[in-house]
Amino acid sequence: MRMVVSNRLMVLGILSGFFLVFAHCLPAYSAEQVRTRDMIRILATFYPKVTARVSSVDGRNVSLDRGEKAGIYPGMILEVVREGKAFRDPYTHMKLGYRETRIGDVEIVSVSPDSSGGIFHPEPKGPAMRPVAGDPVRVSGAPLPVAVVPASNYTDVRVLAHLARRLDGSGRFRAVDPFRVEVSMNTLGLGKKRDPASLVRLSRLLGVKELIVADTTLVGKQVQLDLEAVSGTTGRTVARLSGMLSGIQPFSEDLAAGGPLTGIVAPGLPPLSNPNSVVTVPFIPRFLSLGDFRGNSGTLVALSDSHRIYVTDLSGNSLHVKFEEVNHWVSVNRHVFLSSGPIIPRTLGKGESRRSQIVVTNIVGGSPYSYVLDYDGKTLHRIWKHVKLYLRVVDLPGRGATLLGQRMGVNRPFLGLIHRYEWVRDHFEKEEAVSWPPGITLFGTQPISLDGKNVFLEVAADDHLEVYDANGDLRFKSPVFLGGYFNHFVYGRPHALLPVRQRNVHLKGRILTIEPAGTGRSHPVVIVYKNVPMSSGGERFQGYQYGQIYFYQWTGVNWILKGKLARVKGFISDIALTNDPKTLKPELLVATEPVFNFMNIQNLYVNEGKLSTYSFPAAVEKALTPSGAPPSLINRPSGGTGR
């Protein structure tokens, strides 16, 4: 095995005998082949775990008490933190560590066996703090977040996807989703992908400290892979690797052969997730919500096409419209969220069940114009209208279905606290504010009870699923990049001070939760979805390919990915929980519309969507029914039991 390796390999004494084979000046393309995992193992040696402390500071020049023996080398970037208050074990009161504040990075410029020196780079968005003697300096031993960046528009995207998967499986790196990297590059409009300043901007947008700039070259029927490890702090190259990959067939060879894609990195498309049933809807279903809207224990499906509400009966493979909203406001409506639940207390008669109301968050002319629909025995009518609030029904832990509302600001889309609204006689009245962490909005979130404590799930601004405690402290962040949501609106009047682009609000997708039955413990399953964008080396966004649905479960210690629907046909617009009326097993009801990309413009002329039901993955079903009893749909306050 031969490989081109530059920069500082000789400093790694324990591997020096192995690396001497690669340090020679080889021809540009060696006939010898290497494996991707071998290249990643060598790449990992440039990021050893290092723990040091600042010994002295002179302006921006920083000296450390560790050097070459600890694995430090010129060009290396180490994190500088400031220790704060100690935290202790609540039972033994033993000191466990210190709360830390990140203050910047040190770029190493000189190294001796037992010491080193470098230049301090302050944290761009953090507090203006300078290092002092004694501050900890380190390279964490935890998996390092990295982004694989194509060196040019001609880089083989399948090789990059394969490289990202291998980095994730190495134990030393955690690769950012390649789709997110591409979208971020398009957002920044990076023309010169090797420009240090552009790479620094990209690393800040992606939230990583290291970039792997990869280039591929076709040599006959083989692929030459060239890697540059680039510091996200300085934009300068830390290491270079090069090798002819084994088991990799160029994309052009697959096309020329006219046969199936072969080789390690020939992913094709993930397996299609087959629905249990599919119903065609004569409009685009943007939002859906299930509930017993008539109070007769029968579950109906409320749908929105962004302008009007339809209440339908979904039975078998057919859809029957029971109610269609008709009024003079329909043409100017812009629905941005739909929810439902029994939010009006009533005395139930014989054979009656609690009736659910439909709550619509609606935007007209840049301002909330929300309303609530209720059944009067004959039809649905508005019992609360022209509401200047964002509205949503949320199943609050310990309280059940609750109507929540929040105001819109002049120069910000969401303003102030989130309040409860209770039905009093014939109207809704504002009650006290609910406990809701700051910075978490009313949409794209879901509060649940976890081991007796309230936590909040959120699809964050960077499109990762995050879990916060009641104080707003981050407790979990999913490695999977979500995104691909197309729900947005412009807030504020046209005469507002902010331009339209800054007043454009993008809402995240719905989060569903379901609780296992009969366990006596809180191990809920969380369901989120994404739409997968087109993957290409181009510089423009090119649409979406299909949807994916992920199932996370709380184990009592951490959140794990329990299963997923790898490829849902169409563009997912919304999801809901339901039950199979025959088996009573939980199902997923998915609203989709035609995908839109540069190869498919069907969405421009086809004004119909699909409602499909999907079984849960086998591992998720097993986790939800350990006792054989059906699980409870804890975030669907309607109480409905079937389709």
pLDDT tens readout for residues 432-478: 999 988 888 899 899 998 878 889 999 988 888 899 888 888 888 88
Lowest mean pLDDT among 11-20, 62-71, 353-362, 460-469: 11-20
pLDDT confidence of residue 253: 36
Going by the DSSP 8-state scheme, the letter that residue 543 receives in this structure is B
Going by the DSSP 8-state scheme, the letter that residue 156 receives in this structure is -
Q: What is the residue type of 621?
A: E
- Measure the CA–CA gap between 401 and 395, rounded to whole angstroms: 4
Confidence bin at 491 (pLDDT 50/70/90):
confident
Options 2.40.10.410, 3.40.718.10, 1.10.357.10, 3.30.930.10; CATH for 50-139 is: 2.40.10.410
Confidence bin at 95 (pLDDT 50/70/90):
confident
Confidence bin at 352 (pLDDT 50/70/90):
low
Tokens of 587: 């199902």
Confidence bin at 294 (pLDDT 50/70/90):
confident
Confidence bin at 599 (pLDDT 50/70/90):
low
The pTM (predicted TM-score) of the whole model is 0.60
pLDDT confidence of residue 574: 95
What pLDDT digit, counting tens, does each position of 4-31 carry? 444 443 333 433 343 333 333 333 344 4
Mean pLDDT of 591-616: 77
- Measure the CA–CA gap between 408 and 206, rounded to whole angstroms: 29
**Dihedral in degrees, nearest 10, Cα atoms 480, 481, 486, 492:** 120
Confidence bin at 350 (pLDDT 50/70/90):
low
User: Rg of the chain over CA atoms, in angstroms?
Assistant: 28
Mean pLDDT of 266-274: 69
| Contact by Cβ (8 Å): 148, 178 | yes
Phi, psi of 70 (to 5 degrees): -90, 0
pLDDT confidence of residue 480: 80
Q: Is the pLDDT of residue 521 over 80?
A: no
What pLDDT digit, counting tens, does each position of 36-59 carry? 888 888 888 888 889 999 999 998
| Contact by Cβ (8 Å): 58, 49 | no
Q: Please list the residue range(s) of the chain that carry CATH number 2.130.10.
A: 277-624
Residue 114 neighbours by CB under 8 Å, 6+ apart: 65, 66, 67, 69
pLDDT confidence of residue 424: 92
pLDDT confidence of residue 550: 95
Q: Please list the residue range(s) of the chain that carry CATH number 2.40.10.410.
A: 50-139
Q: Is the pLDDT of residue 193 over 50?
A: yes
Tokens of 133: 């003697």
Q: In 3D, which of 444, 429, 441 has the Cα closest to residue 339?
A: 444
Judged by DSSP in three states, 184 sits in helix
| Contact by Cβ (8 Å): 553, 623 | yes
Give the number of residues written for the chain.
Answer: 643
Confidence bin at 220 (pLDDT 50/70/90):
low
**Dihedral in degrees, nearest 10, Cα atoms 530, 534, 535, 540:** -120
| Contact by Cβ (8 Å): 45, 12 | yes
Lowest mean pLDDT among 188-192, 309-313, 486-490: 188-192
Q: Which class is domain 277-624? A: mainly beta
Tokens of 572: 């997912």
Mean pLDDT of 311-333: 84
Lowest mean pLDDT among 72-76, 270-274, 313-317: 313-317
- Which one of 33-42, 144-153, 274-283, 519-528 scores highest in mean pLDDT? 274-283
CA 406 distance to own-chain centroid: 24
| Contact by Cβ (8 Å): 395, 341 | yes
pLDDT confidence of residue 538: 41
Q: Is the pLDDT of residue 261 over 70?
A: no
Higher pLDDT, 401 or 261: 401
| Contact by Cβ (8 Å): 235, 196 | yes
Judged by DSSP in three states, 514 sits in strand
CA 43 distance to own-chain centroid: 27
Residue with tokens 């975030």, as numbered in its chain? 635
CB burial readout 597-632, b (16+ within 10 A) else e: beeeeebeeeeebbbbbbbbbeebbebbbeeeebbb
- Measure the CA–CA gap between 148 and 530, rounded to whole angstroms: 21
Q: What is the residue type of 230?
A: V
Residue 24 neighbours by CB under 8 Å, 6+ apart: none
Cα maximum dimension of the chain: 88
Q: At what angle do helices 157-168 and 36-44 cross, to 10 degrees?
A: 60
Neighbours of 298 (CB within 10 A): 14
What pLDDT digit, counting tens, does each position of 171-187 carry? 889 888 887 887 788 77
| Contact by Cβ (8 Å): 239, 41 | no
pLDDT confidence of residue 251: 37
Q: Please list the residue range(s) of the chain that carry CATH number 3.40.50.10610.
A: 4-47+143-257
By CB neighbour count within 10 A (0-12 exposed, 13-18 middle, 19+ buried), where does 425 fall? exposed
Confidence bin at 549 (pLDDT 50/70/90):
very high
Mean pLDDT of 584-589: 89
Q: Is the pLDDT of residue 558 over 50?
A: yes
| Contact by Cβ (8 Å): 572, 285 | no
Q: What is the mean pLDDT of the chain?
A: 80
Neighbours of 317 (CB within 10 A): 9
- Measure the CA–CA gap between 286 and 335, rounded to whole angstroms: 9
Q: In 3D, which of 42, 383, 66, 94 has the Cα closest to residue 227?
A: 42
Higher pLDDT, 533 or 640: 533
Q: What is the residue type of 324?
A: E
Q: Is the pLDDT of residue 2 over 80?
A: no
CA 236 distance to own-chain centroid: 29
Options 3.40.50.10610, 3.30.2130.30, 3.30.70.1450, 3.30.1010.10; CATH for 4-47+143-257 is: 3.40.50.10610
Mean pLDDT of 312-323: 84
- Measure the CA–CA gap between 247 and 265, rounded to whole angstroms: 8
Mean pLDDT of 368-375: 93
